[in-house]
Structure formats: structure tokens, C-alpha cells
Amino acid sequence: METLTGTPKKKSVEHGQVLDGSDIMELVENEEVFSNFVDHKFQELDKDRDGKLSVKELQPAVADIGVALGLPAQGSSPDSDHIYSEVLSEFTHGKQETVSKTEFKEVLSDILLGMAAGLKRDPVVILRIDGEDLLEFINGPGFEAEIVSIFSQIESPDRSLRDHLIQAFEKLSVDQGMPPSSDPWVLDNIVEPALQACAGHDWHKPASQEAFLVEFKKVAERVAQHLKEQPVIVAHSENTFDGSGVKRLLSNKFELDKTLNAALENVPRDRNGKMSKEYLRVVLDVVSPSAGLPPIGAVDQMDKVVADVFKMINADDGKLVKEDEFKKLLTEILGSIMLQLEGNAISVSTNSVVHEPLASSSSLLQPSSQ
């Protein structure tokens, strides 16, 4: 669930366990400790003790990496299965049937460092949502005003009171002490039982604001009770795009030139070496990680900023330009995005329910039992 942030952080957000990649970095950068770690993992996987890992023996490691990356189990999604295949291919280079310990160590190091870099860039806070913050929100001074605001956003004469209640819970976030109700488990085990327990005889009718307020509070209190009985673990991440990453890139000419040159390598050129401005968005997407920007399509508000900038400098006319002009346009686009974000930063938060106990969800970084 993606929501705009801006409300004060609750205790659960402030006191959650922060995963920022530092533990992973510490492991990989300590040569002695990491070598020992790899030795144990390799021994665990090398069932036939031949000093090499077959594709079959690698599967548990690949599965663990998938879990650590937050992927669903293998076989449950074509998209995630493709990533599992890519991870396996990293170990086998796409053709080897066996992998040596040295190769295993090198690839595992690269994967772990990549994970650490991602967590450093976008730290994840592990929250335990137990109903306490939700009750505090319900009984707080701002409850009624916020729920009235939510009702005004979702009000529709075509929907029943019950439908309005369900949609209202989707508008709440961990800031109010609510796990994402868009998650099927949360809906089935937390929200639906509360709705059933509080159901009124006229819930099938259109909702008035007054009735909605009364009924929502009843259901929310029951939801808080269910959360107390069955706390929900949520992985919470926040990101603020304020233009600082773009500014850093633009202020370092060497890094900017290097980044642009790498991004332009695969852009088609005509026989005169010119490029179509149609590829500006593609190249911007490639450059985005270096500029501290999200991928195009990932954040709606950011996409609007990009669209406004492209319109402002007429970047979508599809004309052919020389490489220097293309770079100049891209630099201008980055500068305009930076100014927009400096004036109006975009903050987003993402909340995902963790369905397995953290301690056992992945053995990738667990000490060996041997």
C-alpha cells in the first residue's frame, strides 16, 4: 500500500526495528567472518561433499535469497520465478552445471552488497501493529476530523455503508496504527471479523456522514481488539524525493558525464549519429537511481512532475538531435525536476505485511547449525 506521508509518526513507527543494510555490509566487509560464513553455507548446501554445488544443491540458497528479497515462493508467480531464475543464473553464469566455493562466495557477496545498498537507500522498519496506536488514534482529538475527511473522499450514493467502512480502512495507514487492509490476510482475519461483529441491519443502505462516523468508530475499536489478539508484522519504508540526489549528481561533472555516457550506450542513432528525443524518458529512467529518483511509473506524483517538466521544455516532440544536445536536454530535465522537488518534495511510504516470523523467514543470514 502506498500512501502520502505527513502525519506525525506513531510509537510503532518510531520504535520499529530498522533494517538499513548495515548488518549485511558489516558481514561482507569482514573478510574473515564472511569467509567463515561462506564455508558453513557451502558445507550445508554441498550434500554430496564433492566440493562443488550442483544446480539442485543451489536451490535452497536461491530460495533463501528470494525470501530475503521479499519474493513469494517459487512457482507462485511468473514474474518472481523469472527473478529466481536470474539469481540462479548469476551463480551458474547461465551455463555451468556446478559452482565452486570461490564462485559461490563472489556471487553471494555481490547479491548481499546489492541488498545492503538497497536497504541503505530505502531503509525498512519492521513494525508490530498490536492495536495500541489504533486505539490512541480513535480516542484522540483528531479522529473525527480525519474520518470526516476520509468520508468526503470516498462518499458515493451508489455504495452501501458497509462498502464505505471497508474503503475507509484502506485509507488508514501505520501512522494511525492500521496495517494495510488491502492485504488479503488482514482483510480476512482482522477487518472482516470486526465488520461481522458490528454489522447493523441498515448497513446495506447508502451511508450518511453521521451514521458512518458512529459505525466506523465501533468497527475500528473491534479491529484494535483483533490486532491485540493477533498482532500484524508490517515492513514499512519511507522515501522523500526532495531533489537532493539530483543536485549531488549535477554538481559532480565527472559523475554526471559518466552516468550519461553509460545511459546513452544503448540508445539507437541514425546514420548521422543523431538520437530521437523519444528516448529521453528511457534514458531518464536509467539515470534515475544515480539521481535519487524513483523509476518512472513507480510514484504517481513523481510521474506528474516529470510530465510537467517534459511539457515545459517540449521534450516530447520526437525530433532528432545530436548527442551533445541530447545530453544538454537531459541535464536541463534533471535540473528542472530538482527545482520542482526542492520547492515541493514528494514523500511516499510503503507498507507490506510480513506473513512469516522474521526469525525464520530466511536462513540466508542465519548462523549455520554446524
Per-residue pLDDT of the chain (370 residues; tens, 9 = 90+): 333 333 334 444 445 666 667 888 888 888 998 899 999 999 999 999 999 999 899 988 888 877 766 666 777 666 567 777 878 888 887 777 899 999 999 888 888 887 777 667 667 778 889 999 999 999 999 999 999 999 999 999 889 999 999 999 999 988 899 999 988 899 999 999 999 999 888 898 888 999 999 999 999 999 999 999 999 988 877 788 999 999 999 999 999 999 999 999 889 999 999 999 999 999 999 999 899 888 888 788 999 999 999 999 888 888 899 999 999 999 999 999 999 999 999 988 777 787 654 444 455 555 544 4
Considering only CA atoms, which of 346, 246, 325 is closest in space to residue 287?
A: 246
Instruction: Report if pTM > 0.75.
Output: no
| CA contacts within 13 A on the Cβ side of 345 | 14
SS3 of residue 160 by DSSP: strand
Q: What is the radius of gyration, based on Cα positions, of the chain?
A: 25
In order, the DSSP letters of 74-142 are TTS-HHHHHHHHHHHHHHHTTT-SEEEHHHHHHHHHHHHHHHHHHHHHS-EEEEEE-SHHHHHHHTSTT
Describe the crossing of helices 253-264 and 323-343 by its angle, rounded to 10 degrees: 120
Residue 311 CB burial class (10 angstroms; 0-12, 13-18, ≥19): exposed
